[in-house]
Amino acid sequence: MHGPIAVNNLSFLERAPLLREFKITTSTTALTGFPRAPWHQLVDIHIDVGEKWTFLGSELWRALAQCVKLELLHLKTANHHRILTGPQPTSSPHRVTLPRLREFHVSGREPALFTWLALSHIFDNLHLPRLEKLDIGGRSTGRLWERTYLQSFLSLDNLLNASACSLTTLSLDEYISVPSLVVLQCLSSVPTLHKLRIQQSRDCGRDLIVDDDFLEALTPGTLCPELRVLILVDSGAYQEDTLVGLLRTRCNPPPGVARLQEASISSHRPKSHADEQIRSLGSLFTVHRT
């Protein structure tokens, strides 16, 4: 077959009444258009928008608008190595509501000449009232991964406020670069959060999330009062005494604040006095120096 494959012409999936899971991952084959599927009956969708797959944004939003039973969504956006000259995805006229979505794993980048379907664009177009678990990953292509994700997290804050969801788990993977104050703003929108995981390399960009201001904001318990698990991987530019202060305070919290039950700290820093102080808080409080 010569030329790009028009996946919107593949209609056999529409005649699959028992289909509940749908996964499409692109490789070296050029694809155009968006698949036709029984979106209304799917509960689990994995979509990896590769470098050679292009479609109109309206096709994506039209499909997702039909996903009334969807509970799990994995969406990875394109990591293009060339300047995009084709039509960019357009916004949905209204936020698309996914009424049953519980888990959302999304990976992408900020708007650029090399970006297709930016994270901020995704967050701006969704309404997720039942969301419980959110996993956000950045994507790297050379030095472009040093771009800030400021706009993405401003859009995320709007999404969380508009959805009023009871989010319990938030995970931020490496390549995410955003000022700590913006992440704190997002956390203030989800007082139900039980588990927070942040993985960020010191050389991931100009903005390190976990700094002293970030840890001090979490210490009293007014922010994330239900937090029970904290995982930091190779993360941030903070004083270790500030981290110890946070963990100690959250292990003996004031009334109305949940007790921190588990913490895992992994970093490339040398061993320090903080290691034993953290481990002394309980068997589920660990420090890994790599």
Model pLDDT for residues 234-284, shown as the tens digit of each residue? 867 899 999 999 999 999 999 999 999 999 999 888 889 999 999 999 999
Pairing relationship of beta strands 133-138 and 169-172 according to DSSP bridges: parallel
CA dist 54 and 287 (Å) reads 44
pLDDT value of residue 79: 57
Whole-number Cα distances in Å, 40 to 67, 80, 98, 182: 5, 30, 11, 35
Token pair listed for 70: 């969807």
Crossing angle of helices 180-187 and 150-163, in 10° steps, is: 10
Whole-number Cα distances in Å, 80 to 144, 192, 258: 11, 36, 43
CA dist 18 and 21 (Å) reads 9
Size (the chain), residues = 290
List helix spans (H) across 199-267.
212-218, 240-251
pLDDT value of residue 24: 86
Model pLDDT for residues 43-79, shown as the tens digit of each residue: 999 998 877 787 877 888 999 999 999 999 999 886 5
Token pair listed for 248: 């100690």
Is the pLDDT at 199 greater than 80? The verdict is yes
List helix spans (H) across 89-188.
119-124, 150-163, 180-187
Using left for φ > 0, alpha for ψ between -120 and 50, and beta otherwise, residue 197 falls in beta
Q: Are 242 and 261 in contact (CB under 8 A)?
A: no
CA dist 265 and 274 (Å) reads 11
CA dist 8 and 34 (Å) reads 5
The rounded mean pLDDT for the chain is 86
Q: Are 269 and 289 in contact (CB under 8 A)?
A: yes
Token pair listed for 203: 């050389």
Percentage of residues in the chain having pLDDT higher than 70 = 84
| Domain ranges across the chain | 5-209
CATH of 5-209, one of 1.10.1670, 3.30.70, 3.10.310, 3.80.10: 3.80.10
SS3 label, residue 180: helix
Percentage of residues in the chain having pLDDT higher than 90 = 57
